[in-house]
Amino acid sequence: MSKCRSVLLACVGVAPLAVLSPLPALAQPVEPAPWPLGPPPRLTVVLSIDQFRGDYLYRFHDLFLPAKDGETLGGFSYLMTRGAYFASAKYEHYPLFTGPGHAVILTGAHPYKSGIVGNEWWDTRERHSVYCVDDPRFEVVGAGPGSRARPMGPGNLQATTVGDELKLATAGRARAVSLAIKDRAAILLGGHAPDLSMWFDTAGGRWISSTAFCRDGQLPDWVDRLNKDAIPARALGTDWEAISSAETLGDRASPPAHVGTDVPKGFGDAFPHHIGSEPTAANFHAFCFTPAANDFVFASAERAIEAEQMGQDETPDLLSINLSPNDYIGHAFGPYSPEVLEMTLATDRGLSGFLNYLSTHVPGGMDSVLFVLTADHGVSPIPEEVAGQPLDFSAERLQIADVLSTIADALTGRFGKATGGSWFATAPEDPEGKNLAKSGAYLDGSVYLNPNSIAEAIGRGAARSRREIEQAACDAVNASALPGVYACYGKTQILEGAVGDTDLARHLAKGVHPRLSPDLIIIPRQDCLENPPSAGHATTHGTPYAYDTHVPVILCYPPVLRAGVYCNQAAPSDIAPTVSLLLGVEFPSGCDGRVLDEAIRSQTP
């Protein structure tokens, strides 16, 4: 029996005695009983590094700063040696994107509960795509001239976060702040009730938010001052130089296959990478591809700690941070590139600076800080690079047009011509679905069918059920031997548990929401990605394979957590219940994860 479980059973065992025996009158205040798991942290920091594969920590470990040099703390090495490092942690849901990943981290809820089934999905009733943090109930706060920012908020998140539960448990006294370059990362980490969630707007290079969090329509004074300091503008006109030697880069990285189109104009295909000097949205976007943007996030986090007085008293506070630039670089250059190596080393140095800040600004230093490190997903190798290696299978590009034509031909042949001319979900202005970018025909590996066409086919007796139509589409794709396709699965098939008892089946079951998820899910073969590439990326993520699911999970809190490398099964969904227990608050409402009790020290003699 685990120590954690024995503590809870003991609590259950004493409850009836309290009911049967009257409490004695207290003549004077009594010291409160200590929390059995040790003192809760003054400050919890959750750091998610966007697109940070699990292998980066050990592939580059010898290039990181030392764990401790005198009184100076290192970055990754410090956390890996002083924290509970779950080296084989993997995500357990499909698909692996920024929205779903960040929703899992602090809710512990997979997409089938959280409702965050992708970065975007198709609203079949309103016939348009929905971005995961679109929230028209609110207004943008803090945007400058020329901004194209839309109102954002947590309305699509159907679960509470650790921060939400902390606010409830402390009657609002705890401070909760989340920040990231990406709006979806900041909002989905923060949840429904943070004091502030803020994200970066390339129009003007400034932090913005929404009235979901800034209810008076104004940014906090400290954020206004931070924007006036114009830290991102100082990076304009500069170069990102490699810190590693040419020999190290040659030995540890490979020049990427330049097949993507998302590299900022003027940035260059190799070091040094240049940021334009004019304060334009394009140049602030290029800034987001460099370590300078991560340094800006860390500096802003330090401002938040000081301004919000986080970690300064015994009421626990929560700071959630995402480092988005690692994702931009990974998409453009791939996981084996010099750029990813250099971004990882720069992140290590930025993390070291932030840990040293925490050690001196939070009373009690790192013994008062629970620090959590993880990532929202990994990334696939660039197919054109893998195809040149001596592997047993060939990496290639899945042709989206071929997949869709196979589905359309099969459904028309089996059930007749589709209502309105298309079997796929379409926008009102494009009823025949000729504009793929404005339809639900293909969104991040998923296909939404036209509900009117399905209803019409069932109504005239051509099909008996939605399940039959979905299955006919999948059977056609699975029988086609299309290049790059592993399999097609229907939503009804997944919801009914008819996929089989496999790891992939469990990923699909945890990823499919009965109302929001697509009708068909197309799984690519390993090391195969779609063509045309999503957003012009050279490579991407989203699959159920290890290169996407394997991410770091480290929890560092020396007074309570036992340092060490843990190779047992763990997942990012386990972060939320573990942090909740250490804080002494209820688990988030949709929590699926388990407490990582193997890392909890015994607090009894």
- pLDDT one-digit tens code per residue, 98-110: 999 999 999 999 9
Contacts (Cβ under 8 Å, ≥6 apart) of 543? 94, 95, 96, 380, 445, 523, 524, 526
> Is 1 part of a structural domain of the chain?
no
Q: What are the pLDDT digits (tens) for 237-273?
A: 999 999 999 999 999 999 887 878 899 999 999 999 9
Q: Identify whether residues 341 and 413 lie together within a single domain.
A: no
| Full domain range(s) for residue 90 | 43-384+547-599
Q: Identify whether residues 239 and 326 lie together within a single domain.
A: yes
Instruction: For 372-413, give the secondary structure using H, E and C.
Output: EEEECCCCCCCHHHHCCCCCCCCCCEEEHHHHHHHHHHHHHH
Q: Identify whether residues 287 and 348 lie together within a single domain.
A: yes
Please check whether residue 387 is in contact with residue 342, taking contact to mean a CB–CB distance below 8 angstroms: no
Q: What pLDDT shows up at residue 387?
A: 67
Alpha helices (H) in 257-321, listed in sequence order: 281-287, 291-307
Mean pLDDT of the region 512-528: 95
Residue 14 has pLDDT above 80, yes or no: no
Q: Which of 492, 526, 560 is the last residue of a domain?
A: 526
Question: Helix 466-480 vs helix 400-415: angle between axes, to the nearest 10 degrees?
Answer: 130
Q: Identify whether residues 205 and 159 lie together within a single domain.
A: yes
> Is 457 part of a structural domain of the chain?
yes
**DSSP symbols for 325-383:** HHHHHHHHH-TTSHHHHHHHHHHHHHHHHHHHHHHHHSTTGGGGEEEEEEES---PPPH
Q: Identify whether residues 341 and 474 lie together within a single domain.
A: no
Q: Identify whether residues 470 and 585 lie together within a single domain.
A: no
Q: Identify whether residues 214 and 86 lie together within a single domain.
A: yes
Residue 211 has pLDDT above 80, yes or no: yes
Q: In b/e form, how buried is each residue of 402-412, taking b as 16+ CB within 10 angstroms?
A: bbbebbbebbe
Please check whether residue 379 is in contact with residue 52, taking contact to mean a CB–CB distance below 8 angstroms: no
Q: What is the CATH number of the domain that holds 457?
A: 3.30.1360.150
- Confidence band of 36 (pLDDT split at 50, 70, 90): confident
Q: What are the pLDDT digits (tens) for 142-199?
A: 999 999 999 999 999 999 999 999 999 999 999 999 999 999 999 999 999 999 999 9
Residue 20 has pLDDT above 50, yes or no: no
Q: What pLDDT shows up at residue 30?
A: 67
Let me know if 388 is exposed, middle or buried by CB neighbors in 10 A (0-12, 13-18, 19+): exposed
Q: Identify whether residues 49 and 108 lie together within a single domain.
A: yes
Q: Which of 464, 493, 526 is the last residue of a domain?
A: 526
Into how many domains does the chain fold? Answer: 2
Give the H/E segment covering residue 520.
strand 520-524
Q: What pLDDT shows up at residue 552?
A: 98
Helix (H, G, I), strand (E, B) or coil at 560: coil
Tokens 């986080």, residue? 310
What pTM, to 2 d.p., does this model score? 0.93
Q: Identify whether residues 196 and 249 lie together within a single domain.
A: yes
Q: Identify whether residues 514 and 560 lie together within a single domain.
A: no
How far is the C-alpha of 224 from the C-alpha of 17, rounded, in Å? Answer: 55
Q: Identify whether residues 327 and 412 lie together within a single domain.
A: no
Please check whether residue 392 is in contact with residue 527, taking contact to mean a CB–CB distance below 8 angstroms: no
Q: What are the pLDDT digits (tens) for 66-100?
A: 999 999 999 999 999 999 999 999 999 999 999 99
> Is 20 part of a structural domain of the chain?
no
Mean pLDDT of the region 372-390: 86
Q: What pLDDT shows up at residue 372?
A: 99
* Sign of the CA dihedral running 260, 265, 267, 268: positive
Mean pLDDT of the chain: 92
Q: What are the pLDDT digits (tens) for 307-350?
A: 999 999 999 999 999 999 999 999 999 999 999 999 999 999 99
Backbone Cα Rg of the chain: 25
Mean pLDDT of the region 457-482: 96
> Is 423 part of a structural domain of the chain?
yes
Contacts (Cβ under 8 Å, ≥6 apart) of 479? none
Q: What pLDDT shows up at residue 390?
A: 57
How far is the C-alpha of 463 from the C-alpha of 411, rounded, in Å? Answer: 10
> Is 542 part of a structural domain of the chain?
no
Please check whether residue 32 is in contact with residue 42, taking contact to mean a CB–CB distance below 8 angstroms: no
Q: Identify whether residues 265 and 372 lie together within a single domain.
A: yes
